[in-house]
Chain A
Amino acid sequence: MSTHTNPPTKRERLVVVGNGMAGIRTLEELLAKAPDRYDITVFGAEPHPNYNRIMLSPVLAGEKTFEQIVLNGRDWYEANGINLLTGDRVEVIDRANRTVTAMSGLTVGYDKLLIATGSTPVIIPVPGSTLPGVVGFRDLADVDTMLEAAAKGGRAVVIGGGLLGLEAANGLTVKGMDVTVLHLMDTLMERQLDRSAGALLRHELERRGITVLTGADTAEIVGIEKVSGVRLKNGQELPADLVVMAVGIRPNMALGKAAGLACGRGIQVDDAMTTSDPAILSVGECVEHRGQTYGLVAPLFEMAKVAAARLAGGTEAAYTGSVTSTKLKVTGVDVFSAGDFTGGKDCEDIVFRDAARGVYKRVVVKENRILGAVLYGDTKDGGWYFQMLKDGTEVAPVRDTLIFGQSFGGEGAANPKAAVAALPDSAEICGCNGVCKGTIVTAITEKGLSNLDEVRAHTKASASCGSCTGQVEQLLALTLGDGYAGEAKAKPMCKCTDRTHDEVRRAITALELKTIPDVMQRLEWRTPDGCHHCRPALNYYLLCEWPGDYKDDSRSRYINERVHANIQKDGTYSVVPRMWGGLTSAKELRAIADVVDKFAIPTVKVTGGQRIDLFGVKKEDLLAVWADLNAAGMVSGHAYAKGLRTVKTCVGSEWCRFGTQDSTGLGVKLERMTWGTWTPHKVKLAVSGCPRNCAEATIKDLGVVCVDSGYELHVGGNGGMHVRACDLLVKVETEAEVLEYTGAYMQLYREEARYLERTAPWVERVGLEYVKRRLVDDAEGRAALNARFLFSQSFSQDDPWAERASGSVDRHEFAPLAQVG
């Protein structure tokens, strides 16, 4: 056993048990107040650095990667001199000797101990609950188990229709599983929603293909070696390959209890977040405070603030309990609730419904103050109601228009600067990081901050979703007066907005914007419906962010992508059928020849991408031309698309005496995998069968050069106006690896390049090292990117020609309205 020895500085020793959100938030607050007071050791049972547990749902749904939800990477611990021990669970606290001992046998002494062990999922004690295939929804390991199960498809049963259960159900549905939710009560999320909102939510989930059974009481989980189903008390049996238990959480107080600390439903703490042992503090979901336990993030942060102040030596800070609000993190379902909305005697209900928009709002008022609020479908005023609820604001002056929200008649709406000036210091500006106005103003004056980036660095305000950026800028202007020079703006997207491509994209993700009008509304576009620069970009960003969910807006597409052919200088079109990997056949060539004769197509040309291009097709002939090509088995070649154009190949080992691998076959596989995708700009691929490189693979967006021992992958090349040879990304051994790298590379480009930015300038902008870090060094990240690519492809591989030739899509595009005169 090794024992921790004090360093010569004789600083106090602080040990934190639990590397989750509450414990680490406490450290962040502490380091801000007293950076040098302690030598800090953190134990984490999970093998990861500190991550944002509330974002596990988007990870499950494939909307975020693990890297995107990491709050503090290992470099943060290093930079702050914190000794981080992950994957090592603390098992014993020896209060007499002030030491803790972990699973590995390591013993560390403390002067102050902070217990932040969080909570564990409640597993209902029915037969079968320990079978393999039964998981909770609590940590990354659970998410990995679910993703693994979902990859095989099949059926999932989620027990519990509360916040966590529904987020799990949605994620698993998105991942392709057939999901049933079992809920004991009549109303989903009955602790957060009233019946009306619960019914709307149920309807929306059912529309997404989730089966919801309410009043469903689980009797048994069935299975022999692993889960095969769930049996209900009414005898009904549901087949299942995966069972997710999401009936609730329980404070994880075992460690404290074993150490003899006073425990009730959790580890009991006073208003100073101190346990029955004055050397031991506790924060987060493991504590019981004034008889309450909490399972949401906001109270944890409030506790962390107090614990940090106390650890820093303060004697004033006190936690007095939290009023909480809830938001469901299911993309496209906006649900918010706060306070007490059961209503009743002396309470007044103000209700607003808009069936067409699927909006339901209910605000409960008692004695002129807001007691609770439930919002469904339109939650943008949730923060406003919640602030008034917490502050006990008199609502009489705005009573008549209260339900319509802040922007309707609320004070100061017309002048944002005055509105920010009027806020009290305690008003929360940044909801993501819980930063209030006073903190920001103090940081600006005391630390001499002069711009947004500095405010972000010092306070974290506006550092997450960015939706409070405007308010933070107002605060800079208010605090510094003429001393505020404003922000050096990067080039905005277009004249309709001041925001850059990257800012708009971040906002689409963070604010879950789902339509072009939503983006323009929320980001305050200056034009009614944008312009020819921003609309196609927004359409692409939304399509990329919300695969399967976003409905493509044809009116925001350039004509070529709208009619799936290339407009020529005389207003006719050119048509290029797909030839997989450049392969064709007598049947295809005969069909092409017949089409050329039948429609008197004037020019036929072989393209640089190994396809045949038919020039001079009249617009009104397009549907008939496509129908004939479709009949011979050909589909659109997407020669018009900001998407995958072609995979060019040489013949490779099948025929060539120099060929090392089956380059043609691999090209066909790559094209089958990637066709139909939409990308920021066009994408061309190639596969050469040997280093002689006859397919010119090293000036492509992605080129594969086969060698005896495998495949070299080259990226970021371009043979256009500015010729750029590819950079070598990596060498791999199998075709499967080539496919995975290709999917991951395509997705990274799709998610991070700006609209109309080819891979060549993109790779130069972000640097090859960055691309390598994401794709080569990070196998997990690569697999996740590839999975997101394939998921998005599941919605994009319908032949647009067949859809239109059959007359079911965009008929009006191809015929004149009338003939007169």
Chain B
Amino acid sequence: MDQSISWITVGSVEDIPRQGSRVVRTGFGDIALFRTVTDEVYALEDRCPHAGGPLSQGIVHGARVTCPLHSWVIDLASGEAVGPDEGCAGHCPVRVVDGAVQLGLAAFRPGRGGCGHG
């Protein structure tokens, strides 16, 4: 299934603090890599669909992150805002191979805003 995607190694899982995030600068803008308490890794555009807050700076809990600006809660797997808020952060395929974190940047999908930010 991955044949259409070219994977780029951006670092190792250990580089990302558990329950934390690191940023990768890309042509699509900043991508935030998240590592959960159970060591799953997710990648989202580093922009909250609400007001563009840097999600990488939020508190990671379960498979969610809370935006530091207005406390929107974003699901890490889908990028969707957790109800009642509506909106979706851009997201990017990511996989971990032998501890290396790889991004499928070509398959990046931009988000859609809530709260009239289009």
A→B interface (CB under 8 Å): 527-532, 535-536, 554-560, 562-563, 567, 569, 571, 812, 816-821
Q: With A and B bound together, what is the CA distance between A559 and B8 in angstroms?
A: 29
What sequence of 0s and 1s flags, for each residue 8-36 of chain B, a beta carbon within 8 Å of any chain A beta carbon? 10110001111110111111101001001
Chain B's closest residue to A534 (CB) is B61
Chain A's closest residue to B68 (CB) is A559
7 smallest A-B Cβ distances: which pairs? A817-B22, A532-B66, A821-B27, A555-B19, A559-B57, A532-B59, A818-B10
**Chain A residues within an 8 Å CB radius of B25:** 816, 818-820
Interchain CB contact (< 8 A) of A531 among B18, B26, B28, B66: B66
Of residues 25 through 73 on chain B, the ones whose CB sits less than 8 Å from some CB of chain A are: 25-28, 30, 33, 36-38, 51-54, 57-62, 64, 66, 68-69, 71, 73
Q: With A and B bound together, what is the CA distance between A812 and B58 in angstroms?
A: 15
6 contacts between A and B (CB under 8 A): A532-B59, A555-B59, A559-B57, A818-B10, A818-B24, A821-B27
Q: How large is the interface on B (under 10, 10 to 19, 20 to 34, 35 or more residues)?
A: 35 or more
Interchain CB contact (< 8 A) of A559 among B10, B52, B58: B58
Interchain CB contact (< 8 A) of A816 among B23, B28, B51, B66: B23
B88 in the interface (beta carbon within 8 A): no
Known: A555-B17, A818-B10. A532 touches B24 (CB 8 A): no
B103 in the interface (beta carbon within 8 A): yes
B105 in the interface (beta carbon within 8 A): yes
- A528 near B38 (CB under 8 angstroms)? yes
Q: With A and B bound together, what is the CA distance between A558 and B71 in angstroms?
A: 11
Instruction: Give A592 Cβ to nearest chain B Cβ, in Å.
Output: 25
Chain B's closest residue to A536 (CB) is B59
Q: With A and B bound together, what is the CA distance between A560 and B54 in angstroms?
A: 13
- A812 near B103 (CB under 8 angstroms)? no
Chain A's closest residue to B28 (CB) is A821
- Interface-centre pick from B20, B36, B73, B103 (highest chain A CB count, 10 A): B20
Q: With A and B bound together, what is the CA distance between A820 and B60 in angstroms?
A: 24
Chain B's closest residue to A819 (CB) is B25
- A820 near B53 (CB under 8 angstroms)? no
Interchain CB contact (< 8 A) of A528 among B15, B16, B26, B62: B62
**Chain A residues within an 8 Å CB radius of B57:** 559, 562-563, 567, 571
- B24 near A819 (CB under 8 angstroms)? yes
Instruction: Give A505 Cβ to nearest chain B Cβ, in Å.
Output: 21
Q: With A and B bound together, what is the CA distance between A601 and B90 in angstroms?
A: 30
Q: Given A559-B58, A812-B22, A821-B26, 13 other A-B contacts at CB below 8 A? A: A528-B38, A532-B58, A554-B17, A555-B60, A558-B59, A562-B57, A569-B53, A569-B69, A812-B15, A816-B24, A818-B25, A819-B26, A820-B27
- B71 near A817 (CB under 8 angstroms)? no
Known: A529-B61, A555-B20, A571-B53. A817 touches B68 (CB 8 A): no
Known: A555-B17, A571-B53, A820-B103. A530 touches B24 (CB 8 A): no
**Chain A residues within an 8 Å CB radius of B11:** 817-818
Q: With A and B bound together, what is the CA distance between A557 and B102 in angstroms?
A: 28
Instruction: Give A395 Cβ to nearest chain B Cβ, in Å.
Output: 36
**Chain A residues within an 8 Å CB radius of B15:** 812, 817
- B68 near A567 (CB under 8 angstroms)? yes
Q: With A and B bound together, what is the CA distance between A315 and B22 in angstroms?
A: 74
B→A interface (CB under 8 Å): 8, 10-11, 15-20, 22-28, 30, 33, 36-38, 51-54, 57-62, 64, 66, 68-69, 71, 73, 103, 105
**Chain B residues within an 8 Å CB radius of A535:** 59, 61
- A812 near B17 (CB under 8 angstroms)? yes
**Chain B residues within an 8 Å CB radius of A818:** 10-11, 24-25
**Chain A residues within an 8 Å CB radius of B16:** 817
**Chain B residues within an 8 Å CB radius of A819:** 24-26
Q: With A and B bound together, what is the CA distance between A325 and B60 in angstroms?
A: 43
**Chain A residues within an 8 Å CB radius of B53:** 569, 571
**Chain B residues within an 8 Å CB radius of A820:** 8, 10, 24-27, 103, 105
- A527 near B62 (CB under 8 angstroms)? yes
Q: With A and B bound together, what is the CA distance between A820 and B23 in angstroms?
A: 11
Instruction: Give B67 Cβ to nearest chain A Cβ, in Å.
Output: 9
Chain B's closest residue to A570 (CB) is B52
**Chain B residues within an 8 Å CB radius of A569:** 51, 53, 69
Interchain CB contact (< 8 A) of B61 among A530, A554, A816, A821: A530
Instruction: Give A434 Cβ to nearest chain B Cβ, in Å.
Output: 39
Q: With A and B bound together, what is the CA distance between A491 and B14 in angstroms?
A: 38
Q: With A and B bound together, what is the CA distance between A88 and B100 in angstroms?
A: 75
Instruction: Give B112 Cβ to nearest chain A Cβ, in Å.
Output: 20
Chain A's closest residue to B10 (CB) is A818
Chain A's closest residue to B30 (CB) is A816
- Interface-centre pick from B8, B23, B28 (highest chain A CB count, 10 A): B23
**Chain B residues within an 8 Å CB radius of A562:** 57
Q: With A and B bound together, what is the CA distance between A397 and B117 in angstroms?
A: 64
Instruction: Give B85 Cβ to nearest chain A Cβ, in Å.
Output: 14
**Chain B residues within an 8 Å CB radius of A532:** 58-59, 61, 66, 71, 73
Instruction: Give A75 Cβ to nearest chain B Cβ, in Å.
Output: 45
Instruction: Give A566 Cβ to nearest chain B Cβ, in Å.
Output: 10
**Chain A residues within an 8 Å CB radius of B23:** 816-817
**Chain B residues within an 8 Å CB radius of A812:** 15, 17, 20, 22
- A817 near B62 (CB under 8 angstroms)? no
**Chain B residues within an 8 Å CB radius of A555:** 17-20, 59-60
Chain A's closest residue to B60 (CB) is A555
Chain A's closest residue to B15 (CB) is A817
- A567 near B69 (CB under 8 angstroms)? yes
Chain B's closest residue to A620 (CB) is B23
Q: With A and B bound together, what is the CA distance between A536 and B37 in angstroms?
A: 16
**Chain B residues within an 8 Å CB radius of A527:** 61-62
- B37 near A528 (CB under 8 angstroms)? yes
- Interface-centre pick from B16, B23, B57 (highest chain A CB count, 10 A): B57
Chain A's closest residue to B63 (CB) is A528
Interchain CB contact (< 8 A) of A817 among B8, B10, B18, B58: B10
Q: With A and B bound together, what is the CA distance between A727 and B74 in angstroms?
A: 43
**Chain A residues within an 8 Å CB radius of B17:** 554-555, 812
Q: With A and B bound together, what is the CA distance between A144 and B98 in angstroms?
A: 59
**Chain A residues within an 8 Å CB radius of B71:** 532
- Interface-centre pick from A531, A557, A817 (highest chain B CB count, 10 A): A817
Q: With A and B bound together, what is the CA distance between A527 and B19 in angstroms?
A: 14
Instruction: Give A496 Cβ to nearest chain B Cβ, in Å.
Output: 9
**Chain A residues within an 8 Å CB radius of B27:** 820-821
Q: With A and B bound together, what is the CA distance between A527 and B66 in angstroms?
A: 15
Chain A's closest residue to B71 (CB) is A532
**Chain A residues within an 8 Å CB radius of B24:** 816-820
Chain B's closest residue to A553 (CB) is B19
Q: With A and B bound together, what is the CA distance between A92 and B58 in angstroms?
A: 71
Known: A559-B68, A567-B68. A529 touches B51 (CB 8 A): no
Q: With A and B bound together, what is the CA distance between A820 and B73 in angstroms?
A: 27
Q: With A and B bound together, what is the CA distance between A650 and B22 in angstroms?
A: 44
**Chain B residues within an 8 Å CB radius of A816:** 22-25, 30
Instruction: Give B80 Cβ to nearest chain A Cβ, in Å.
Output: 17
Q: With A and B bound together, what is the CA distance between A246 and B17 in angstroms?
A: 47
- A529 near B54 (CB under 8 angstroms)? no
Q: With A and B bound together, what is the CA distance between A821 and B25 in angstroms?
A: 8
Q: With A and B bound together, what is the CA distance between A818 and B24 in angstroms?
A: 5
Q: With A and B bound together, what is the CA distance between A532 and B69 in angstroms?
A: 13
Instruction: Give B50 Cβ to nearest chain A Cβ, in Å.
Output: 11
Known: A569-B69, A816-B22. A529 touches B62 (CB 8 A): yes
Known: A571-B53, A817-B10. A556 touches B59 (CB 8 A): yes
Instruction: Give A100 Cβ to nearest chain B Cβ, in Å.
Output: 64
Instruction: Give A483 Cβ to nearest chain B Cβ, in Å.
Output: 38
